[in-house]
Amino acid sequence: MSETRFTDQHEWVRLDGDEATVGITRYATEQLGDVVYVELPEPGRKVGQGGEAAVVESVKAASEVYAPISGEVMGSNDALAADPAKVNADPEGEGWFFKLKIADKGEFAKLMTDAQYAEFVKGL
């Protein structure tokens, strides 16, 4: 069974065994507007928790996407290169950015749950 957690930078991470899928939240896409370009990390790249992992550009701004947890990039969502609007259409599904082989599951446990993230966003 998979579980999803969230960061205060509006990334989500879905854990499934030792693999994690990472993307940005619906709230983030609403703030960005229409996504026009996504720069994804190369497989094999090691990222630390909170480190820059990808870039998302919209009609409003460009923004870094940070790694919610440490790990090694196993693959990226190549479909976003051809259709970056997938990020807006389904940010927490088909609009995922990259997959990680997890370095430390303890980092995942410290992230916000769905309910905690919803409360966090209410305060913004």
Residues 6+ apart with CB under 8 A from 33: 58, 59, 60
The span from the CA of 113 to the CA of 109, in Å, is 9
* Alpha carbon 61 to its chain's center: 17
Q: What number is the average pLDDT over the span 4-13?
A: 98
pLDDT of residue 21: 98
- Single-letter amino acid, residue 84: P
Confidence of residue 58 (pLDDT cuts 50, 70, 90): very high
- CATH pick for 3-104 out of 2.40.50.100, 3.90.1150.220, 2.60.40.10, 3.90.1170.50: 2.40.50.100
Q: Is the pLDDT of residue 62 over 80?
A: yes
User: Side chain identity at 104, as an amino acid letter?
Assistant: D
Question: Token pair for residue 101?
Answer: 């082989």
Distance, in Å, from the CA atom of 20 to the CA atom of 79, rounded to the nearest integer, reads 18
pLDDT > 90? residue 101: yes
pLDDT at 19: 95
Q: Tell which residue, 64, 49, 32, has the closest CA to residue 105.
A: 49
Domain boundaries of the chain, sorted by first residue: 3-104
Q: What angle do CA 16, 78, 47 make, to 5 degrees?
A: 55
Please check the confidence at residue 94 and state whether its pLDDT lies above 80: yes
